[in-house]
Structure 1
Amino acid sequence: MMAKTKNKYGQYFTSASIAEYMVTLITHDVSAKVLEPSCGEGVFLGMLEKHGFGNITAYEIDPTLDNPYEYVDYRSFVSSPEDENFDVIIGNPPYIRWRNLEEHLKAELAQSRLWSLYFNSMCDYFFIFILKSIEQLNDAGELIFICPEYWMNTTHSESLRDYMVAHGSLTDIYHFKEVPLFEGVASSFVIFRYVKSVAVASMNVWRYAGKKRPTTEGLQKASSFVLTTVPQFEPGERWIFATSEERLSMISFERSCRKRCLPVASSGDYYRIGDFCDIGNGMVSGLDKAFRIEDVSLLNERERDALIHVYKAKDLRCFRNVSDSYYFFVKEDIDEETFANRYPNVYSRLIPYRDELSKRYSYGKELKMWEFAFPRNEALFRRPEYRIFVPCKERISNKNHFRFAIADPETFPLQDVTGILKKSNCRESIYYLLAYLNSSRVFEWLKHNGVVKGEVVEFSESPVASIPYRPIVWENAREVELHDRIVQATQQYVRTADAALLPIIEKNLEKLFYEQD
């Protein structure tokens, strides 16, 4: 059964292949007492019966669904009795952000003891399904859910994660990254198996190796998943799928960035890029093809003076750019006739795009045809200093690096690029920052701790600002020497693209990470 359009109850219907696979993860025998708390049209119920389970309870809030199972109780699981316990709870809970909830669902949550204890209006509707399910499990009972991945590392879901750590253990997480499990849904999904009141030191993370929606046969193949064993999660931490070795490396990295006034680094006690850099997302033209000037020789002098040099994400590589372009950019308060007289060649270029330009999102202002839709952070990028650019989104599948690239003071980022400029308190060279951001340490940290959706890491202002930073201790001659070596090799690589310089840069950075003050 394919997924259907999401309705007011946050329903995304699970495929038969996924439902059957989840049922095969149950370790209890067929005499187990089983609950499906949001059974939809009954795909899980059918698979449970197919595999011999008969003691089944099911809830469904939407009575309009075509469900053939007579034992389905058409009521909300949220307000169902809390005193009935189960050996197995399995399903696909509804996904709705608070702002999108129906008013009667908000009112129901307001009356919920569990919601009031653990959650607030920043939380997703499915959080209550996870927590209430665990409350109603018997000891050693198992919860098997499919849901979006994002809650495993966001701040507003910390109470749910800590509750889960305190009341049991995750044994298995099946990570599907960006595989389209549900029709029309661009999100990263996981299946997890959780056991109540049982301490498990480590868990299995199964990364799905395919890219297409999995079939029943494909899910059963051992080669469909790549297995990693990771330590059990701890209270107060984001859930990241890192091995013990990777965690130790990240802890070491964060400690090397600790604030000098503190003897030991813990969460929040280390320097971050945002402490030393100003960060801004690039400017938005609203229609790049209209503003990009490919042949500068066709312009008059005034028009050439109005050009800005820009990098887009496609222009960037690790450390340096490989291409660029020029865009027309003016902010004069003039009428169209005056504009046409002053900038005749640009005007002729824009006219064929008039209709498309008029439909740009205007960010609440009246927008003239020749104006950028949103010249955000223009003042920041007018500063006469070198800067670092990185694509706002970077796919990391089959990669071991990001694309932080140097740009000169006259170059602007467009909307798919984020810019980084030094603050006045940053004594390190911009080339030291460039090397640092392109280092393997930063890559590994961001892969696990950045804003990651599926295989894509986001580099907007906040995620870039949060990257741990290792400033130089300028009173330490050895650190100053390493800084200068890193800067020299990085400058040379930017000029020559000599790959032999990259291990030299990395080696000197590694020495710095282990320097003790």
Structure 2
Amino acid sequence: MMMGKDKNRYGQYFTIEAIADFMVSLIRHDRSASVLEPSCGRGVFLGQLEKYGFNNISAYEIDPALNPPYPYVQYRSFVSSPLDERFDVIVGNPPYIRWKNIEPELKSELEDSSLWKRYFNSLCDYLFIFILKSIEQLTENGELIFICPEYWMNTTHSRSLRDYMIANGSLSEIFHFKDAALFEGVTSSYVVFRYVKSVHNAGIDLYRYNQKGKPSVQELQQKSCFDFIRIPQFRQGERWVLASEEDRMLLSAFEQECSKRSDDLFSPVDLYRLGDFCDIGNGMVSGLDKAFRIKDVSGLNDGEKSHLIHVYKAKDLQPFYNISDSYYFFMKEEISENQFQIKYPSVYAQLSACRDELSKRYSYGKDLKFWEFAFPRNESLFRRQEPRIFVPCKERISHKNYFRFAFADESTFPLQDVTGILKKPDCNEDIYYILAYLNSSRVFHWLIYNGIVKGDIVEFSEAPLASIPYRPIDWDNDAEVAIHDEVVNNTKQYIATKDIGILEMIEQNINDLFHV
């Protein structure tokens, strides 16, 4: 759910006038068209509709406290409004609320809705019913123009909504604003889309916002703040990837190479995934890194040194290797404060200097001592005596064509801004092969379209990493085994020498594997 200072219990995020003006300008119907704003808020869209000369306007608003100054506003919920009403145009900024955050009375309303019961469940969001019910209430060739987060375009639980939309019409334009600051305090990536009922366009005009900050009305009207490409129309049963035909073909070919072979021609494609071969865990949380980081190890006694852990943070990582590191004090011993001060005097002095800040850490429901990590998440995983791969939990890719999957030895721990990847016991591929594979251009290309992306930030928590298609080695194929071994050797050599010429060899190794 997008967060802003104007958020209330109805999931309201108020649209800036420039965006409302732009969205109304996208309407193709003439000024006599019947228009609905299903959640009008303070009335910014209504003002723009009147400015553009529309005079057959209806509007709903569930929150009478907003009191938009338009006599045709009905203070009721769109979800329960008459389903047999028809409109030529529906435009607006629908509410976005995750199921767990929906107010009880709104949940009851959804549970009574025939449309909700037919298409959705408790994994779905309040936004979905606004999109689907709007389409139901459009006339033939009617237009739906909404601004909303883009997450529903590729999540599993929104598939029924996407399939419904493709079955009943098509998108004509999508304006992808990524993480531009159109709402106060909002960090989600969002889109404006225009959808036409009963019309099946062959392609979609995709506009990607290429500026920082809020656009002006003039920039939007002239589309000078967008990069443009035409993409194929979406199909039923697929996630909506905002990619060109060429890129979609590359993604499809990549996934095909990572698919499990089946003798059944009619069975759905099943992919090998990284999570099938690796254990993945987010790093441990100290709650206040500056308190636990030990800058001068030489000043510690032997007992203090025995509780040091070798640590990589996100800033320490580069593709394949680390550029810096640090040591942190980490202890789970049951001990009184007096005993702690006696046994670990230098660390006690350092932690005591930050005691007030440490006391304000989120405690995860525990009686947390000030010398303890707030949440030693996945500690048992990282105690395993085997090498691992680290990657920053979040990576901005606006000016990069790589991610930072880095090798770490068996004694190194990730902190909260890093996610760790370790081989499962039955995985036969070498960790250096997995490292090279994850740093390959094929995986990068797949992730920028299929990873958990918010604006230009890709998120690498456990679930999205586990979903990455994986290319295992056919150990009965001598050519594949030879490529695997060459990848391993070249990767080790690159980490040792940092010779960038070896990167080209590694990339070629991966390409060779996909063409065996």
Which moved further from structure 2: 311-320 or 417-426?
417-426
- Classify the secondary structure of the residue corresponding to 1:511: helix
Preserved contact between residue 259 and residue 269 of structure 2 (Cα < 8 Å):
no
Q: Which residue of 2 aligns with 1:308?
A: 309
Q: Which residue of 1 aligns with 2:81?
A: 80
Give, as a single letter, the amino acid of the residue that structure 1 aligns with 2:275: G
Q: Which residue of 2 aligns with 1:342?
A: 343
Preserved contact between residue 262 and residue 269 of structure 1 (Cα < 8 Å):
no
- For residues 285 and 266 of structure 1, do their structure 2 counterparts lie closer, same or farther at Cα, with a shift above 3 Å needed? farther
2:466 matched to 1:465?
yes
Which moved further from structure 2: 181-190 or 57-66?
57-66
Q: CA deviation at 1:243?
A: 1.2
Q: CA deviation at 1:150?
A: 1.1
Q: Which residue of 2 aligns with 1:124?
A: 125
Preserved contact between residue 99 and residue 125 of structure 2 (Cα < 8 Å):
yes
Q: Which residue of 1 aligns with 2:259?
A: 258
Deviations 1:261-288 (A, max 9, x none): 5576976612111111111111111110
2:160 matched to 1:162?
no
Which moved further from structure 2: 486-495 or 355-364?
355-364
Q: TM-score, normalised by structure 2?
A: 0.97
Preserved contact between residue 141 and residue 199 of structure 2 (Cα < 8 Å):
yes
Q: CA deviation at 1:223?
A: 2.6
Preserved contact between residue 169 and residue 199 of structure 1 (Cα < 8 Å):
yes
2:372 matched to 1:367?
no
In structure 1, the gaps of 5 or more residues are none
Q: Which residue of 1 aligns with 2:419?
A: 418
Preserved contact between residue 15 and residue 93 of structure 2 (Cα < 8 Å):
yes
- Classify the secondary structure of the residue corresponding to 2:200: coil
Once residues 175 and 381 of structure 1 are traced to their aligned partners in structure 2, the CA distance between those partners, rounded to angstroms, is 39
Q: TM-score, normalised by structure 1?
A: 0.96
Give, as a single letter, the amino acid of the residue that structure 1 aligns with 2:71: E
Q: CA deviation at 1:295?
A: 0.8
Q: Which residue of 1 aligns with 2:406?
A: 405
Q: CA deviation at 1:101?
A: 2.2
Q: Which residue of 2 aligns with 1:104?
A: 105
Preserved contact between residue 257 and residue 468 of structure 1 (Cα < 8 Å):
yes
Q: Which residue of 2 aligns with 1:50?
A: 51
Deviations 1:321-377 (A, max 9, x none): 000000011111111111111111111111111111122222222122211111121
2:298 matched to 1:297?
yes
Once residues 501 and 80 of structure 1 are traced to their aligned partners in structure 2, the CA distance between those partners, rounded to angstroms, is 64
Once residues 432 and 105 of structure 2 are traced to their aligned partners in structure 1, the CA distance between those partners, rounded to angstroms, is 56
- Classify the secondary structure of the residue corresponding to 2:389: strand
Q: Which residue of 2 aligns with 1:226?
A: 227
In structure 2, the gaps of 5 or more residues are none
Deviations 1:288-335 (A, max 9, x none): 000000111111122122211100000000111000000011111111
- For residues 485 and 329 of structure 1, do their structure 2 counterparts lie closer, same or farther at Cα, with a shift above 3 Å needed? same
Which moved further from structure 2: 255-264 or 62-71?
255-264
Q: Which residue of 1 aligns with 2:30?
A: 29
Once residues 369 and 8 of structure 1 are traced to their aligned partners in structure 2, the CA distance between those partners, rounded to angstroms, is 36
Deviations 1:247-274 (A, max 9, x none): 1111111111122455769766121111
Give, as a single letter, the amino acid of the residue that structure 1 aligns with 2:67: D
Give, as a single letter, the amino acid of the residue that structure 2 aligns with 1:411: T
- Classify the secondary structure of the residue corresponding to 1:223: coil
Deviations 1:68-118 (A, max 9, x none): 211222222111112121111111111222222222222222221111111
Q: Which residue of 2 aligns with 1:432?
A: 433
- For residues 329 and 265 of structure 1, do their structure 2 counterparts lie closer, same or farther at Cα, with a shift above 3 Å needed? farther
Preserved contact between residue 258 and residue 265 of structure 1 (Cα < 8 Å):
no
Preserved contact between residue 452 and residue 458 of structure 1 (Cα < 8 Å):
yes
Count how many residue pairs are aligned between Structure 1 and Structure 2. 513
Once residues 12 and 475 of structure 1 are traced to their aligned partners in structure 2, the CA distance between those partners, rounded to angstroms, is 57
Once residues 497 and 474 of structure 2 are traced to their aligned partners in structure 1, the CA distance between those partners, rounded to angstroms, is 30
Q: CA deviation at 1:218?
A: 2.3
Give, as a single letter, the amino acid of the residue that structure 2 aligns with 1:144: I
Give, as a single letter, the amino acid of the residue that structure 1 aligns with 2:118: L
Preserved contact between residue 215 and residue 225 of structure 2 (Cα < 8 Å):
no
Q: CA deviation at 1:387?
A: 0.6
Deviations 1:462-506 (A, max 9, x none): 111111111111111111111111111111110111111111111
Q: Residues 276-287 of structure 1: matches in 2 within 5 Å? A: 276-287=277-288
Preserved contact between residue 260 and residue 269 of structure 2 (Cα < 8 Å):
no
Q: Which residue of 2 aligns with 1:151?
A: 152
Q: Which residue of 2 aligns with 1:135?
A: 136
Once residues 455 and 390 of structure 1 are traced to their aligned partners in structure 2, the CA distance between those partners, rounded to angstroms, is 17
Preserved contact between residue 254 and residue 270 of structure 1 (Cα < 8 Å):
yes
Once residues 151 and 288 of structure 2 are traced to their aligned partners in structure 1, the CA distance between those partners, rounded to angstroms, is 31
- For residues 45 and 376 of structure 1, do their structure 2 counterparts lie closer, same or farther at Cα, with a shift above 3 Å needed? same
Deviations 1:415-447 (A, max 9, x none): 111111111211111111110000011011111
Once residues 285 and 163 of structure 1 are traced to their aligned partners in structure 2, the CA distance between those partners, rounded to angstroms, is 46
- For residues 6 and 15 of structure 1, do their structure 2 counterparts lie closer, same or farther at Cα, with a shift above 3 Å needed? same
Once residues 314 and 263 of structure 2 are traced to their aligned partners in structure 1, the CA distance between those partners, rounded to angstroms, is 38
Q: Which residue of 2 aligns with 1:249?
A: 250
Preserved contact between residue 97 and residue 124 of structure 1 (Cα < 8 Å):
yes
- Classify the secondary structure of the residue corresponding to 2:224: helix
2:71 matched to 1:70?
yes
Deviations 1:14-46 (A, max 9, x none): 111110000111111112111111112221111
Once residues 12 and 374 of structure 2 are traced to their aligned partners in structure 1, the CA distance between those partners, rounded to angstroms, is 36
Once residues 164 and 81 of structure 1 are traced to their aligned partners in structure 2, the CA distance between those partners, rounded to angstroms, is 21
Once residues 116 and 376 of structure 2 are traced to their aligned partners in structure 1, the CA distance between those partners, rounded to angstroms, is 42
Q: Residues 163-242 of structure 1: matches in 2 within 5 Å? A: 163-242=164-243
Once residues 514 and 341 of structure 1 are traced to their aligned partners in structure 2, the CA distance between those partners, rounded to angstroms, is 63
Once residues 303 and 208 of structure 1 are traced to their aligned partners in structure 2, the CA distance between those partners, rounded to angstroms, is 52
2:94 matched to 1:93?
yes
Once residues 261 and 74 of structure 2 are traced to their aligned partners in structure 1, the CA distance between those partners, rounded to angstroms, is 60
Q: Which residue of 1 aligns with 2:456?
A: 455
- For residues 262 and 426 of structure 1, do their structure 2 counterparts lie closer, same or farther at Cα, with a shift above 3 Å needed? farther
Preserved contact between residue 387 and residue 408 of structure 1 (Cα < 8 Å):
yes
Once residues 97 and 261 of structure 2 are traced to their aligned partners in structure 1, the CA distance between those partners, rounded to angstroms, is 44
Give, as a single letter, the amino acid of the residue that structure 1 aligns with 2:409: D
- Classify the secondary structure of the residue corresponding to 1:250: helix
